[in-house]
Amino acid sequence: MAFFKNLLGKQKAAAASGDKKEVKPSKSRVETGAAEAKPDAPMNIQAGIGILVAPHITEKTVGGGRFGTYTFRVHSGSNKIKIRDAVEKRYGVKVESIRILKAKPKIKRFGRRFGTVPGYTKAMVRLSAGQTIEVGA
């Protein structure tokens, strides 16, 4: 709080000495547009880059491809609407439904030491009938 006292003291001294410095009010976040750009938001939403991290390929998820269900690892802050837009724009398909699942971090043991396997978020995307995505090689 001492900083503000010193600042107020300088302003009073400048007003008393007769220096008339014009003080411009700073622009708020709303005026500068800083409120619109969030630092943790994905970079390129148009192509789905930043939302879709990678396809989640296991034996179980590969079997789901026969029924039109594909699984992707996604950014932890994304919601169903963002995921739907990302999949539709990247792969050019129509999404019917989405289920989001959050895997918790797990503690693993390495000899005497304990380590943590980080958690992740995955989305199970179901496509409209007759549509497929070529995932993997």
Which domain covers residue 107, as residue numbers?
A: 44-131
27 occurs within a structural domain:
no
Number of domains in the chain: 1
Contact 61, 18 (CB under 8 A): no
Per-residue pLDDT of the chain (137 residues; tens, 9 = 90+): 555 566 666 666 666 666 555 555 555 555 544 444 444 544 555 556 789 999 999 999 888 888 889 999 999 989 999 999 999 999 999 999 999 999 999 999 999 999 999 999 999 999 999 998 887 65
Alpha carbon of residue 23 to chain centroid: 38
64 occurs within a structural domain:
yes
7 occurs within a structural domain:
no
Distance CA 84, CA 61 (A): 18
pTM of the model: 0.61
The tokens for 51 are 């939302």
13 occurs within a structural domain:
no
53 occurs within a structural domain:
yes
8 occurs within a structural domain:
no
Q: How far is CA 103 from CA 4, 47, 58, 74, in A?
A: 47, 25, 15, 12
Q: Letter for the amino acid at 102?
A: K
> What CATH number is associated with residue 63?
3.30.70.330
37 occurs within a structural domain:
no
The tokens for 65 are 């491809």
